[in-house]
């Protein structure tokens, strides 16, 4: 180690006189500024994600869920999470819209994975894009609520949900038949026209979800279907009993 106060042992270089008052190593200053900038950027991104999650209408019981805290019960669960990450990477790397289906019985983590994907897009520097969440029933009900209310506009609601870059439609097929099914089909179809990515979760099997869609919507949805994730494990909540 050098005894010279004007020498930087870390970078093996001479220090320079800064503002005619002290000797500093420029490389040390650069590293310090970079570390401070990284810390500031990390805080900013966390705040941005928090704001995006709030605006996405993710329910309270799912707000803390992500792909890092998904409870693995077997090796297949790990593969499912890996497939979910690959789905998001494909969207980011290829700059295209892709669809995903997550199927399985109640309580196996479908919504957890779907919300985890919404958050994972920010880990992939996909910051500028909008995210959204709604149950299929809630989405259809929101549109129907405009029909007899002069203060609400159906087209405004449809536009909101067909222009979100990445939308989760949760629990498709649960109490959303008839007119509600027509609304959901319209939203899925318009999202395809707008080149937006859609994630569908359902207790129904994949072929039943496709039967739920009308022919035109099914054809468009399948043309950009990345994959489907089938989960057949036991209800997490029953395992705690």
Residue 184, in any domain of the structure: yes
Shared-domain flag, residues 33 and 71: no
Domain membership flag for residue 9: no
Same domain, 49 and 115: no
Strand partners, 197: 166
CB within 8 Å of 181: residues ≥ 6 apart? 140, 212
- Is residue 48 one of the residues assigned to a domain? yes
Task: Indicate whether 203 belongs to any domain.
Answer: yes
- Determine if the pTM surpasses 0.75: yes
Q: What is the pLDDT, as a whole number, of residue 14?
A: 76
- Cβ pair 49, 122 in contact under 8 A: yes
Residue 179 has which token pair?
């007119």
The domain that holds 119 is classified in CATH as 3.40.50.300
Range of the domain at 64: 57-239
Identify whether residues 147 and 111 lie together within a single domain: yes
Same domain for 41 and 122, yes or no, is no
The answer to the question of residue 233 being in a domain is yes
pLDDT of residue 4: 62
**Total number of domains constituting the chain:** 2
The reported pLDDT for the residue numbered 241 is 42
What is the rounded distance in angstroms from the CA atom of residue 131 to the CA atom of residue 118? 6
- pLDDT given at position 145: 94
Show the low-confidence residues of the chain (pLDDT under 50). Answer: 18-20, 237-241
Per the domain annotation, does 71 fall within a domain? yes
- Considering the domain architecture, whether residues 121 and 161 belong to the same structural domain is answered as yes
């Amino acid at each position: 180690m050098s005894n010279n106060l004007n020498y930087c042992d870390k970078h093996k270089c001479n220090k320079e006189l800064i503002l005619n008052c002290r000797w500093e190593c420029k490389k040390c200053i650069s590293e310090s500024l970079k570390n401070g900038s990284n810390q500031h950027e990390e805080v900013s991104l966390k705040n941005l994600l928090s704001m995006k999650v709030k605006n996405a209408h993710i329910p309270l019981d799912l707000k803390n869920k992500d792909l890092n805290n998904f409870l693995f019960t077997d090796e297949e669960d790990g593969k499912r999470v890996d497939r979910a990450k690959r789905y998001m990477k494909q969207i980011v790397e290829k700059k295209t819209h892709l669809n995903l289906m997550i199927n399985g019985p109640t309580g196996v983590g479908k919504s957890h994975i779907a919300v985890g994907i919404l958050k994972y897009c920010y880990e992939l520097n996909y910051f500028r894009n909008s995210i959204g969440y709604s149950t299929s029933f809630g989405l259809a009900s929101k549109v129907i609520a405009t029909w007899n209310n002069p203060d609400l506009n159906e087209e405004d609601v449809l536009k909101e949900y067909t222009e979100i870059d990445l939308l989760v439609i949760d629990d498709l097929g649960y109490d959303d038949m008839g007119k509600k099914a027509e609304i959901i089909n319209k939203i899925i179809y318009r999202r395809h026209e707008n080149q937006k990515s859609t994630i569908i979760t359902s207790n129904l099997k994949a072929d039943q979800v496709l039967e739920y869609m009308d022919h035109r919507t099914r054809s468009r949805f399948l043309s950009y279907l990345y994959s489907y994730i089938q989960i057949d494990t036991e209800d997490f909540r029953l395992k705690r009993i």
